[in-house]
C-alpha cells in the first residue's frame, strides 16, 4: 500500500507506475482515491470545527443559567443538539470514506524501483548473471521421479491414497538428503548472522492481507474451515506478521531472521510427467530469510540476500542464474524482485528455485510496523528471500549430481548431515 501523499501530491507518478505494470484498468482508481480523500479531509475539517464551536457553546450554557437567562440557555441547548447530530453524521461519513479509500489503496500497486525492466509478463524477465557452468553429461539424465524411485526414495501412490494428488512420501536416503539440504541452509544463514526461528504455521486473515494481495491469497492459501486461520504458503508471512502493530527502536535495526517451515499451497501439478514428480506439490519445506531495515538500506540488503541463495546452491555443485523480474511480473506489493533459477541438465534449461523481493514500506504500512525515530515515527522496509525450498532444490541437486550408473553424489557440504555418506547408490 502506497503513501496517500503520493496521490495527493503526484497523481501522474502513480498513474505512470500503473502503466509500467500494464494494469491500465486500475488508472481510474487514482482519481477515485484523490476525490474520496478530498471529501474525507473536508468532512474531518468541518467536524473538527463544529466540535470546537459546540464545546464553546456548551460551556456558555452554565453561565446563562446562572445569570437567569433560562430561555436563552434552552435555545443554545437546541443549537448544541443540532450541531451534535451533524457532527455524528460527519463522523459516520468519515468512517465510510476511510474504508472506501483503504479498500482502493490496497489494490493500487507499489511504486517500482527505477531499475526494474519494463515488460508485460515473466516471458520478458531479464537474465542478469550466471553462476557455475551449466553441464549436459554425455549420458541421459532421467526424470527426477525416476531417479528417486530407482533409489527407493519416494512413494506417491501411497500418498495418493492418504491425501490425494500433489502429495508424496519421501523415504530412506532421499528423505534424509532432503532434510540435510534444509539443515545446511539453516546453518548457512545462522553463520551469516541471522536469528533462527520456527514460526506459527497458521496465521489470521488480517496478517495475510497485510503481507500479500487478496488475489494472491485466494490463489495460494488454504483456509481452516470455521476459523480465522490460514495455512501459510511461505514462512515470511508469519515472520513479517510477528511485528504487526509494533513500534520498533531504531537501534534494533536491521532485524535479520531465517525461518524454517512446511508450506502449503493450492498449486496443483500439470499434465504428464509433472503429475508423477515433485515439481508442483501442495506441501513442501523451506528455509526462508527476512530483513526489516531502514528505508535507505533496503537495496543493499536486497543485493546481499539473493547472493546468499546463489552461494548455497553453488556449494551444492548446482549451476544457477539470477533473473530480474520485469514490471508486469512483479506482485503489486513489490518494489523490486529477482528469481534464482537452477540448471536442469535433463531439460537443458533453468527453472525457478527461489525468489528475492524488496517490498519497500508496503507491508509495514498494511501491518502498522513503525520505527521510533528522533524526528518522529516512520515505516521501515521489509524484504524476503528463499534460502532453499525443497523438493525443488532436491530436484536440482539430483539432476546435477547424477551419475551414469544411477547413483547420486552427495555434495561435500551435505555429507556431515548424511553421516559422512558420499553417495546414494541405486537399489537393485
**Per-residue model confidence (pLDDT) at position 270:** 44
Asked if the bond preceding 70 is cis, omega within 30° of 0, the reply is no
pTM score, whole prediction: 0.90
- Residue found by looking up cell 476511510 in the block: 98
Domain with CATH 1.10.287.40 in the chain: 4-105
**Per-residue model confidence (pLDDT) at position 111:** 97
Give the residues across from 338 on adjacent strands.
324, 356
Domain with CATH 3.30.930.10 in the chain: 122-424
Q: Are 44 and 135 in contact (CB under 8 A)?
A: no
**Per-residue model confidence (pLDDT) at position 273:** 43
Helical axes 172-191 vs 392-400, angle rounded to 10°: 110
CA pseudo-torsion sign 10, 15, 18, 20: negative
Q: Nine-digit cell at 6?
A: 503520493
Q: Are 84 and 294 in contact (CB under 8 A)?
A: no
pLDDT tens, per residue, the chain with 428 residues:
899 999 999 999 999 999 999 999 999 999 999 999 999 999 999 999 998 888 888 878 777 777 777 778 778 788 888 888 889 999 999 999 999 999 999 999 999 999 999 999 999 999 999 999 999 999 999 999 999 999 999 999 999 999 998 899 999 999 999 999 999 999 999 999 999 999 999 999 999 999 987 777 778 899 999 999 999 999 999 999 999 999 999 999 999 999 999 999 987 444 444 567 898 899 999 999 999 999 999 999 999 999 999 999 999 999 999 999 999 999 999 999 999 999 999 999 999 999 999 999 999 999 999 999 888 999 999 999 999 999 999 999 999 999 999 999 999 999 999 999 999 998 76
Architecture of domain 4-105: Orthogonal Bundle (1.10)
Q: Are 253 and 371 in contact (CB under 8 A)?
A: yes
Q: Are 313 and 322 in contact (CB under 8 A)?
A: no
Q: Nine-digit cell at 288?
A: 526462508
Give the residues across from 203 on adjacent strands.
230
**Where does 122-424 sit in CATH, by number?**
3.30.930.10
Q: How far apart are CA 248 and CA 293, in angstroms?
A: 11
Amino acid at each position: 500500500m502506497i503513501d496517500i501523499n503520493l496521490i495527493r501530491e503526484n497523481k501522474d507518478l502513480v498513474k505512470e507506475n500503473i502503466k509500467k505494470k500494464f494494469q491500465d484498468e486500475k488508472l481510474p482508481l487514482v482519481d477515485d482515491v484523490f476525490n474520496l480523500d478530498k471529501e474525507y479531509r473536508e468532512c474531518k475539517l468541518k467536524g473538527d470545527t463544529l466540535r470546537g464551536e459546540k464545546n464553546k457553546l456548551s460551556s456558555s450554557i452554565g453561565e446563562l443559567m446562572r445569570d437567569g437567562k433560562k430561555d436563552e440557555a434552552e435555545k443554545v441547548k437546541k443549537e448544541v443538539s443540532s450541531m451534535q447530530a451533524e457532527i455524528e453524521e460527519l463522523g459516520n461519513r468519515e468512517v465510510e470514506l476511510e474504508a472506501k479509500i483503504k479498500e482502493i489503496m490496497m489494490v493500487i500497486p507499489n511504486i517500482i524501483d527505477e531499475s526494474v525492466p519494463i515488460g508485460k509478463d515473466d516471458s520478458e524477465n531479464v537474465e542478469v548473471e550466471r553462476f557455475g557452468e551449466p553441464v549436459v553429461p554425455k549420458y541421459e539424465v532421467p526424470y527426477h521421479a525416476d531417479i528417486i524411485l530407482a533409489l527407493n526414495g519416494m512413494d506417491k501412490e501411497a500418498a495418493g491414497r492418504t491425501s490425494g494428488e500433489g502429495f508424496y512420501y519421501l523415504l530412506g536416503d532421499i528423505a534424509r538428503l532432503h532434510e540435510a539440504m534444509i539443515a545446511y541452509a539453516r546453518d548457512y544463514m545462522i553463520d551469516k548472522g541471522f536469528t533462527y526461528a520456527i514460526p506459527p504455521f497458521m496465521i489470521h486473515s488480517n496478517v495475510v492481507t497485510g503481507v500479500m494481495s487478496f488475489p494472491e491469497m485466494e490463489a495460494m492459501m488454504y483456509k481452516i474451515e470455521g476459523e480465522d486461520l490460514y495455512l501459510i504458503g511461505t514462512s515470511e508471512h508469519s515472520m513479517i506478521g510477528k511485528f504487526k502493530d509494533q513500534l520498533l527502536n531504531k537501534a534494533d535495526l536491521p532485524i535479520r531472521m531465517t525461518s524454517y517451515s512446511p508450506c502449503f499451497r493450492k498449486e496443483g501439478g500439470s499434465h504428464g510427467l509433472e503429475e508423477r514428480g515433485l515439481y508442483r506439490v501442495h506441501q513442501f519445506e523451506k528455509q526462508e530469510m527476512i530483513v526489516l531495515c531502514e528505508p535507505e538500506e533496503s537495496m543493499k540488503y536486497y543485493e546481499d540476500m539473493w547472493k546468499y541463495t546463489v552461494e548455497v546452491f553453488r556449494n551444492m555443485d548446482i549451476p544457477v542464474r539470477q533473473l530480474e523480474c520485469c514490471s508486469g511480473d512483479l506482485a503489486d506489493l513489490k518494489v523490486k524482485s529477482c528469481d534464482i533459477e537452477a540448471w536442469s541438465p535433463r531439460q537443458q534449461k533453468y527453472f525457478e528455485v527461489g525468489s528475492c523481493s524488496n517490498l519497500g514500506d508496503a507491508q509495514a504500512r498494511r501491518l502498522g510496523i513503525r520505527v521510533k525515530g528522533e524526528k518522529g515515527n516512520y515505516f521501515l522496509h521489509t524484504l524476503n528471500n528463499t534460502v532453499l525450498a525443497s523438493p525443488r532444490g532436491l530436484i536440482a541437486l539430483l539432476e546435477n549430481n547424477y551419475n551414469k550408473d544411477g547413483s547420486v553424489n552427495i555434495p561435500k557440504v551435505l555429507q556431515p548431515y548424511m553421516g559422512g555418506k558420499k553417495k546414494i547408490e541405486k537399489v537393485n
